[in-house]
Amino acid sequence: MKILITGAQGQLGTELQRQLRRGGSALGPMPERLKNASVIATDLGELDITNRLETIAFVRRHQPDTIISCAAFTNVDGCEEQPEAAFKVNAVGAANLAQAAEKIGARLIHVSTDYVFSGAANGGRPLDESERPAPISVYGKTKALGEEYVRDFCRRYFIVRTAWLYGAAGKNFVKTMVAAGKKFGKLEVVNDQLGNPTNAEDLAHHLLKLAVSHDYGVYHCTGEGVCSWYDFAAEIIRLAGVDAQVTPCSSEEYAAKHPAAACRPAWSALENRMLACTVGNGMRPWREALADYFAHRQPEE
């Protein structure tokens, strides 16, 4: 089997390659069919997914069985400042990969986000795959459009929405909180935006299960359990052993201090219903997965 990974240098792309090399993750072995898989790891230097002809030619040349699309413009505030760039990567790039996959009959696993939802209250219930997207930021809007293009242009697709992702590679909220806690000794974090922290190891494990599946469609894949950004930050600081105080604030208070910040959904907790109905939902409770991350992280992290 041959797998093409875009955005291979990011935290999820890096984790996928690690599991394919090692044969599995902390959650268990990867599917047997992937044990001798050939991996084509690409990033911007090798493939510009915003160029349709280049993308189609690249995919035709390599003939992957499965494409896992991790490439995205994920800087939420940066998307507000650079909407054209966000549109090209998150929407046009998704369309190009979908068309390329369809031309050779490959599966496409497209990684999306909880930010495709508005954040409206859902009676305290996590959102399953039947909920209709209604994004409120440029990031969310361009990712939602990317999902539409994947549906339009590719028959063998998995759209996998995740949230609050962190891992050993790249930048993420966990590393930001640890660094800021060490530097300033105090943190102020919003406590009225709720969602699901997700360990990249858990997400990658489930993406590889989908890579050999025929259960196409839309999936949610996040850590189990709901918390606020404040809860998440407080647990990060505790597990990191950093001497820092974490205090809660409201989104309104945060916006007053950071007027250029993008709007973020107040409620974007997801339910992994489709996983449970198909390949199995083995996503760990978010506190357990976070503790495991700290137990195995390298000193420089």
Residues with a known catalytic role: 139
The number of beta carbons lying within 10 Å of the beta carbon of residue 75 is 15
| Residue 190 phi, psi dihedral angles, 5° rounding | -65, 140
Which amino acid, residue 124?
A: G
For 9-65, the DSSP string reads TSHHHHHHHHHHHHTEETTEEPPGGGTT-EEEE--TTT--TT-HHHHHHHHHHH--S
Residues pairing with 248 in the sheet: 189
User: Distance (Å, rounded) from C-alpha 50 to C-alpha 69?
Assistant: 13
- Residue 180 to residue 162: CA distance in whole angstroms: 25
Q: Which of 140, 41, 143 is nearest to 92 (CA)?
A: 143
CA 62 to chain CA centroid, Å, is: 25
181 within 8 A of 262, measured Cβ to Cβ: no
Strand 38-41's sheet: what is its strand order? Answer: 38-41, 2-6, 66-69, 107-113, 157-162, 217-220
Where helices occur in 241-298 by DSSP H, the ranges are 251-257, 273-277, 286-296
Q: How far apart are CA 267 and CA 119, in angstroms?
A: 4
| Residue whose entry in the numeric block shows the structure tokens 């105090």 | 186
